[in-house]
Structure 1
């Protein structure tokens, strides 16, 4: 046998083996307790948020005492086996799985816009408080020393970061802008 013929035979064998291997792919059966698609979106989004929080500051996350997946599974009244089977089923159905992940992505994009807006509002409040403080002291804007600026920052932070009785940040406590008529 020549080298060329041997290469062709090897290539033919490889193609047949690859083709035969692809024929035995088993798809997951639809589980009896399949997590509905909209609930799966919520679960996956929360899992991503928990993982991000843990990755951002692992020590602070661990100090909260929250056990990520356990918390999510309790919240959505599911268990890890049900989640795995549902995830496997959706993963075998590419179009549905893609739709789930697109929905999660859209949810995070909307959340980012909301958080950016809140951050801008907080900065506007800080700037307004600093201006009012300077105006009430009769001080020119550029003449504040770093200590006075730090005090203004603390006052504005305490107003912005009001917390409820459980220590959660209360966003609704921010004053709403008044329209000028």
Structure 2
């Protein structure tokens, strides 16, 4: 997918006229394109950080997006080329995508922090139980030793 996007951007940059690219008949609308690009970026991140999640579930990231949005690679490529020729529109779309990514980041950070706090509390609880058990063992040992000492005297 990255190669496809790189080729498209090279093609767009090599055009001499800024408006030389005509609107394709099957152009993906802006809102839908934002969703497609968001999913592509999320899946790309998953590919690079947790490949096994996709492979264990037999998920082909590109095919997943094409099926989810009822599009094909040619339609995506033509739409990308068209929007790339209109930098202000592309910038608007990426502002929306970046906002969504930031929102997701905040949600994940809150979840991570919550899990971290729970794990710390659990660890403290385990340490406390361990220390209480040690105290009880010491008390039992002391009480077990006292009668023996009394009977010796």
Count, aligned residues: 120
- For residue 130 of structure 1, report the CA deviation from its aligned partner: 2.4
**What are structure 1's unaligned runs of at least 5 residues?**
1-20, 141-181
Superposed structure 1 runs of 4+ greater than 6 Å apart: none
2:106 is the alignment partner of 1:129:
no
Q: Distance in 2 between matches of 1:81 and 1:100?
A: 20
Query: 1:89 maps to what in 2?
Result: 82
Query: 2:106 maps to what in 1?
Result: 113
Q: Contact between 1:27 and 1:89, CA under 8 Å: does it hold in 2?
A: no
2:37 is the alignment partner of 1:44:
yes
Q: Comparing both structures, which one devotes a greater share of its residues to helix?
A: 2
Query: 1:4 maps to what in 2?
Result: none
- For residue 128 of structure 1, report the CA deviation from its aligned partner: 2.0
Q: Contact between 2:54 and 2:60, CA under 8 Å: does it hold in 1?
A: no
- For residue 95 of structure 1, report the CA deviation from its aligned partner: 0.6
Change (3 A) 1:24 1:119: closer
Change (3 A) 1:54 1:99: same
Q: Distance in 2 between matches of 1:23 and 1:136?
A: 73
Query: 1:72 maps to what in 2?
Result: 65
Q: Name the larger-Rg structure.
A: 2
Q: Secondary structure at the match of 1:50?
A: helix
Q: Distance in 2 between matches of 1:80 and 1:130?
A: 50
- For residue 124 of structure 1, report the CA deviation from its aligned partner: 1.1
**What are structure 2's unaligned runs of at least 5 residues?**
1-13, 134-153
Query: 1:35 maps to what in 2?
Result: 28
**RMSD of Structure 2 on Structure 1 (CA):** 2.5
- For residue 138 of structure 1, report the CA deviation from its aligned partner: 4.5
Q: Say which structure, 1 or 2, has more relative contact order (CA 8 Å, 6+ apart).
A: 2
Q: Distance in 1 between matches of 2:128 and 2:82?
A: 63
Q: Deviations over 1:69-101 (max 9, x none)?
A: 111110111111111111111111111011111
